Chain A
């Protein structure tokens, strides 16, 4: 290849240009340079890496285990009906469909909405190179996701059929080419659509649509998971899978690449397998070329028209708009406006208000095995108040700790934090505004679940009163704890609001501390129960404990923000 390139004038330079572009894109996309500077030059917060790895290992590990168990049953079931290809076909199909759907939206946001477009546009780089370099970034991300999805299937099938090295080699090639066809199709579709629809003007609307689709996707998965027989009933699971065989076959027929990939894996030692592999690879290359050609023709025009910003320039009546309010109210209003007007923030926090009631409904109402009668009998009687309010408390603590609102409150201000530092309002008052805002939004998120469970379980009024008091204290404590964490280590250096919330380790940190708090409350309750202490006394103890925690966290947070407002913000620019 090297000789070939050197012999053709200009090819080597073009390749170098593309590689340099790709390298820069990777550095920017993954923040490699920034990360290297932070962790290895300044040697700051190395523990963040450890914590993140731990979090991913625990969360991902559990999911992976469940998935492997499911795949194994599926493999056994498909062997029963003598259709060994069934499992690989299904997995490949799933992988490709996921890549197709998410790839479409992902390519739109990376090709057209990323911040570096303004820098790349004036450079003398061919449009297809810009698109392909961005395409490779997405592809690399896809491989990480697909590794979790496909590798277990490859190994289960390989071990199950005693396959040799050739099988693993072919499977690896199939794995590498799996996302290329669907991602290219998604990317071609996005290039075509963006040529005619100016989504840039409606970037926020786009975020909302994507989030709603993701929500529907999640709810559908939740619905199906609930229909899968549980508790290790092997036979029931096999029956369930067999019932869905026809569905899988039908879908794979309408998207043949999954079938080509699967056949080349399962018939790896035959000519038909080899031919399928060739078709699979050739089609992948053809689609990538089509993408490059359509990008070369259409990318620039779409991206340039997307740079236009729409402004309505409608005059307003100043008399109506100018109104005075207290600093605290003004701060609360600012928090609300800067939250509700940024879709990424809203869609990270508010959908929980729908998801939990939905999961609740599907799990309890749709499931005939867990009859709600027994539960209602307990929850509707005044005697059930203790456990109802304790479970309600723990549940609300978890929801508060897992929402990323307060744990990113300071970080979300980003570079604009200088405005908060500049204004003549006590940091304490600013902290209080964020605290109140956190409590209000958490209550908004919990309220639908609260009302629904009140309705379904006919919870007794006494339980509701006690639960409301405990819940309020708990929500307040976790919110101020999260605020304290974010004030201790805010990340102001982001360019995309997504990073302020999703890429913020403070969210994970606050969740871990909340889980520890939940654990402590559980231990205290059980210990006191063992000692035959009256339930009302235990409740009072928990209540007092929560009040003390509120006080304690508030005093600590006050000290932390004093330092935050005193410390230098905005890095080490020497001007």
Chain B
């Protein structure tokens, strides 16, 4: 579960307000889609939940734990995939996964099962022993996804996770997201692909200029906007 209460964040000594007093609740068992144009505040919000950015005001809780009071406990519960596949070039894929499993204290059996599963599913078997610097964008993304899920986190936070993935892997990821929420866990992801959001999400929020301008289930949002397509609603709201 993720809860944001009155969260704000500004840059350049308050001159640029990136996130402006937002409230969000993502319940267990929900896939939450976070939409917005470039520069709207999506990545800033995601990074604040993941503990990579501090927030100026408000409160962020993951599974009921306050990130300011107990950041380590919060981090243990999160699996995070960044928007760009920045990863240690000079480690091999398997070295990186082992490292992440070590810092999340994943048992040998669990890590073996999960690594074997993901390596097979993402077709990384032949590349896993190579240095990451030889990987393509999509392969790096797959390693980051595996690393984010290796400790079976209760909350997944994925920033544009579909970018760079081949159709098969994108399909697999969507399946995994559904499976994960069926087990009572939470998925929070940002995307520019409105179709994916429309089909996959239980709830969505649209952020523009740091403010939440639409929030609710797909039905709730559509009913407020004369049952138009999500694309039309998105364009209408963000161009105001």
Chain A residues in the interface with B (C-beta under 8 A)? 309-316, 318-319, 321-327, 329-331, 333-334, 337-338, 341-342, 415-416, 418-419, 421-426, 566-570, 572-575
B125 interface hit (Cβ, 8 Å):
yes
Q: Known: A423-B103, A575-B39. Contact between A569 and B128, CB under 8 A?
A: no
Check A321 against B129 for contact (C-beta < 8 Å).
Answer: yes
Check A418 against B52 for contact (C-beta < 8 Å).
Answer: yes
Check B134 against A318 for contact (C-beta < 8 Å).
Answer: no
B interface residue count range (under 10 / 10 to 19 / 20 to 34 / 35 or more):
35 or more
Check B75 against A330 for contact (C-beta < 8 Å).
Answer: no
Could you give, for residues 83-96 of chain B, a 1 whenever the CB lies within 8 Å of some chain A CB and a 0 otherwise?
10011101100110
Check B102 against A574 for contact (C-beta < 8 Å).
Answer: no
Check B102 against A327 for contact (C-beta < 8 Å).
Answer: yes
| CB-defined contacts of B53 to chain A, threshold 8 Å | 568
Chain B residues in the interface with A (C-beta under 8 A)? 11-12, 16, 18, 38-44, 50-54, 72-73, 75-76, 80, 82-83, 86-88, 90-91, 94-95, 98-108, 111-112, 115-116, 119, 125-130, 133-134
For this complex, 16 residue pairs linking A to B, each with C-beta atoms less than 8 Å apart, are A313-B127, A314-B129, A324-B101, A327-B103, A330-B103, A333-B99, A334-B99, A337-B95, A416-B86, A424-B104, A425-B72, A567-B54, A568-B54, A572-B16, A574-B16, A575-B40
Q: Known: A322-B112, A575-B38, A575-B83. Contact between A422 and B102, CB under 8 A?
A: no
| Distance A333 CA – B108 CA, assembled complex (angstroms) | 17
| Distance A415 CA – B127 CA, assembled complex (angstroms) | 24
Q: What residue in chain B is nearest A570 (Cβ atoms)?
A: B52
What's the count of A-B pairs with C-beta under 8 Å?
124
Check B98 against A318 for contact (C-beta < 8 Å).
Answer: no
Check B94 against A311 for contact (C-beta < 8 Å).
Answer: no
Instruction: Say whether chain A's binding surface is mostly helix, strand, loop, or mixed.
Output: loop
| Distance A411 CA – B216 CA, assembled complex (angstroms) | 42
| Distance A424 CA – B100 CA, assembled complex (angstroms) | 10
Q: What residue in chain B is nearest A426 (Cβ atoms)?
A: B72
Check A325 against B128 for contact (C-beta < 8 Å).
Answer: no
Check A326 against B102 for contact (C-beta < 8 Å).
Answer: yes
| CB-defined contacts of B87 to chain A, threshold 8 Å | 416, 419
Check A309 against B90 for contact (C-beta < 8 Å).
Answer: no
| CB-defined contacts of A573 to chain B, threshold 8 Å | 43
| CB-defined contacts of A567 to chain B, threshold 8 Å | 54
Check B90 against A415 for contact (C-beta < 8 Å).
Answer: no
| CB-defined contacts of A423 to chain B, threshold 8 Å | 75, 100, 103-104
| CB-defined contacts of B38 to chain A, threshold 8 Å | 575
Which listed residue, B41, B50, B119, touches A574 by the CB 8 Å rule?
B41
| Distance A511 CA – B11 CA, assembled complex (angstroms) | 34
| Distance A527 CA – B107 CA, assembled complex (angstroms) | 57
| Distance A326 CA – B105 CA, assembled complex (angstroms) | 7
| Distance A314 CA – B125 CA, assembled complex (angstroms) | 9
Check B115 against A322 for contact (C-beta < 8 Å).
Answer: yes
| Distance A318 CA – B115 CA, assembled complex (angstroms) | 8
| CB-defined contacts of A314 to chain B, threshold 8 Å | 126, 129-130
**9 new A-B pairs (CB below 8 Å) besides A324-B108, A327-B103?**
A322-B94, A322-B98, A323-B108, A324-B102, A337-B90, A341-B90, A566-B54, A574-B41, A575-B39
| Distance A309 CA – B41 CA, assembled complex (angstroms) | 36
Check A421 against B76 for contact (C-beta < 8 Å).
Answer: no
| Distance A325 CA – B104 CA, assembled complex (angstroms) | 11
| Distance A337 CA – B131 CA, assembled complex (angstroms) | 11
| Distance A568 CA – B107 CA, assembled complex (angstroms) | 32
B214 to chain A, nearest CB (A): 19
A333 to chain B, nearest CB (A): 7
Check B107 against A324 for contact (C-beta < 8 Å).
Answer: yes
Which listed residue, A337, A342, A426, A569, touches B52 by the CB 8 Å rule?
A569
Check B43 against A575 for contact (C-beta < 8 Å).
Answer: yes
Q: What residue in chain B is nearest A338 (Cβ atoms)?
A: B90
B155 to chain A, nearest CB (A): 13
| Distance A62 CA – B87 CA, assembled complex (angstroms) | 43
| Distance A572 CA – B12 CA, assembled complex (angstroms) | 7
Check A422 against B51 for contact (C-beta < 8 Å).
Answer: yes
| CB-defined contacts of A566 to chain B, threshold 8 Å | 54
Check B129 against A315 for contact (C-beta < 8 Å).
Answer: yes
Check A312 against B130 for contact (C-beta < 8 Å).
Answer: yes
| Distance A327 CA – B99 CA, assembled complex (angstroms) | 8
| CB-defined contacts of B75 to chain A, threshold 8 Å | 422-424
B56 to chain A, nearest CB (A): 11
| Distance A334 CA – B94 CA, assembled complex (angstroms) | 13
| CB-defined contacts of B108 to chain A, threshold 8 Å | 322-324
| CB-defined contacts of A342 to chain B, threshold 8 Å | 90
| Distance A494 CA – B11 CA, assembled complex (angstroms) | 21
Check B54 against A318 for contact (C-beta < 8 Å).
Answer: no
Check A422 against B52 for contact (C-beta < 8 Å).
Answer: yes
Check A575 against B94 for contact (C-beta < 8 Å).
Answer: no
| CB-defined contacts of B107 to chain A, threshold 8 Å | 324
| CB-defined contacts of A313 to chain B, threshold 8 Å | 126-127, 130
| Distance A253 CA – B197 CA, assembled complex (angstroms) | 76
| Distance A568 CA – B16 CA, assembled complex (angstroms) | 15
Which listed residue, A312, A323, A329, A338, touches B88 by the CB 8 Å rule?
A338
Across chains A and B, which 6 residue pairs bring their CB atoms closest together, nearest first?
A575-B43, A330-B102, A316-B129, A311-B134, A424-B75, A341-B90
B54 to chain A, nearest CB (A): 6
| Distance A30 CA – B51 CA, assembled complex (angstroms) | 34
Check B76 against A424 for contact (C-beta < 8 Å).
Answer: yes
B152 to chain A, nearest CB (A): 13
| CB-defined contacts of B40 to chain A, threshold 8 Å | 575
Q: What residue in chain A is nearest B87 (Cβ atoms)?
A: A416
